[in-house]
Amino acid sequence: MKDLFPKNLIARWNEALVSSVRILLATHIYPDGDAVGSLVGLGLFLRQQGFEVSMICPSPYPDFLKFLDKNGEVLFFSHDREQVIRQIAEADVIIAVDVSGFTRMEEMGDLLSASGAFKVLMDHHIDPVEGDFDLVFSTPDVSSTCELIYRVLHSWRPKATLSKEQAIAFLTGIITDTNQFANSIYPETFNVVSALNACGADMEEIFDQVFRNFTYNRMRLMGYALQNIKLLPEFKTGYIVLTRDVLDAFEYKNGDTEGFVNFPLAIQGISVSAFFIQREDHIKVSLRSKGNIAVNGIAKEFFDGGGHFNASAGKMEDKPEKIETLLREALGTIIAL
Ligand code: 5GP
Ligand code: MN
């Protein structure tokens, strides 16, 4: 397998870790499969290497990712505030995964940022906030953070064998971040998948847990979302809005709308998709596109967010009636009428 990073970075990683005892792994708010897969895969691997490891997120992961964290070891700042604060205070090394800096961790990020621990970034988003960290492993030229971490670990400990749990965690991140191998695939991705498969990560087992494990309400909410796709043909765009009353009617739980943003892209002639979901005090916006239409620029400029070329997100004020006007304005800057 090709080394993703130069040997001097691996040497610095080794140097920082061998003089440490407690390692704290942290990821972004509303953690997805790549975030939780990165935490658990790396966390269990480091524990196997003899370190004391803790794993934290600002908010809970969706129920369907629980199978990665069978013993419920990942702590949520929103629920276990005092315990997380203690873990941050005790950490010798902090590793931020699947996030480009501490800001996407909200208040927990401020605490991490203020810590005197050695700070490492492992991520695949653009524009890493290098200044927040002592050591940065970051490139957008991988499928996922899980792939990136696997390749760092392979360069560091080429002879180590991953446990089945570690391999399942990493493979889940790759499968979910690539939209089931539909995008962000690089030649080396399949070598990593092959190695994880050889360590016992079964594709069918993961698909059963992640994609064939819906509650009845979640399936019905999907039906509602599909029935209510709005089209803006002049912008080759389809969008979905889920307001609080609709979410309540389907007893929405965190994670129930995973993947919904992709639905409009399956329609002929549609190249951009937007998904709006009403949260406590704002509307979360997810954007996706096909081909050479960049959505990260409008995520940043119009929705106070950012992300990848074809997959970005952000937020807007809690006023559903303003969605279409704002969306049209944003699309007007990237798609010529
Ligand atoms: P999603 O729609 O799945 O929540 O997010 C898609 C992508 O957008 C994520 O992988 C991440 O790269 C990026 N993203 C999500 N939320 C934010 C945000 O608040 N700020 C920035 N800069 N990027 C985000
Ligand atoms: Mn990711």
Kindly report the number of other CB atoms within 10 A of residue 54's CB atom. Answer: 21
How far is the C-alpha of 289 from the C-alpha of 283, rounded, in Å? Answer: 20
Percentage of the chain beyond pLDDT 70 is 100
Ligand 1 binding site (Cβ under 6 Å of any ligand atom): 104, 125, 261, 286, 305-308, 311-314
Instruction: Band the pLDDT of 333: cuts 50, 70, 90.
Output: very high
Q: What's the maximum distance between 2 C-alpha atoms anywhere in the chain?
A: 59
Per residue in 14-54, pLDDT tens? 999 999 999 999 999 999 999 999 999 999 999 999 999 99
Fold of 216-331: Diaminopimelate Epimerase; Chain A, domain 1 (3.10.310)
How remote is the CA of residue 59 from the centroid of ligand 2, in Å?
16
Which tens digits make up the pLDDT trace of 293-311? 999 999 999 999 998 899 9
Q: Provide the CA 148 distance to its chain's centre, in angstroms.
A: 13
Ligand nearest to the CA of 103: 1
Nearest Cα residue to 67 out of 201, 266, 230: 201
Helices (DSSP H) in the chain: which residue ranges? Answer: 7-18, 33-48, 81-90, 106-114, 145-156, 164-177, 187-198, 203-210, 216-227, 244-249, 296-303, 323-332
Residues in the chain: 337
Q: With CA atoms as reference, report the closest residue to 256 among 295, 213, 301.
A: 213
Nearest partner of 295 among 274, 278, 270, judged by Cα: 274
- Residue-wise pLDDT for 120-140, tens only, equals 999 999 899 999 999 999 999
**Upper half-sphere CA count for residue 158 (Cβ side, 13 Å):** 6
Model's pTM, two decimal places?
A: 0.93
Closest atom of ligand 1 relative to the 312 alpha carbon: 8
Ligand 1, atom 8, residue with closest C-alpha: 312
Ligand 1, residue 275: give the atom nearest the CA.
Answer: 2
Domain residue limits, the chain = 7-210, 216-331
Using DSSP, state whether 52 is helix, strand or coil: strand
What is 7-210's CATH topology?
inorganic pyrophosphatase (n-terminal core) (3.90.1640)
Q: Which of 100, 104, 146, 309 to mutate to test the pocket of ligand 1 (most atoms within 8 A of CB)?
A: 104
Give 250's DSSP letter: T
What separation in Å is there between the alpha carbon of 310 and the centre of ligand 2? 13
pLDDT of residue 299: 97
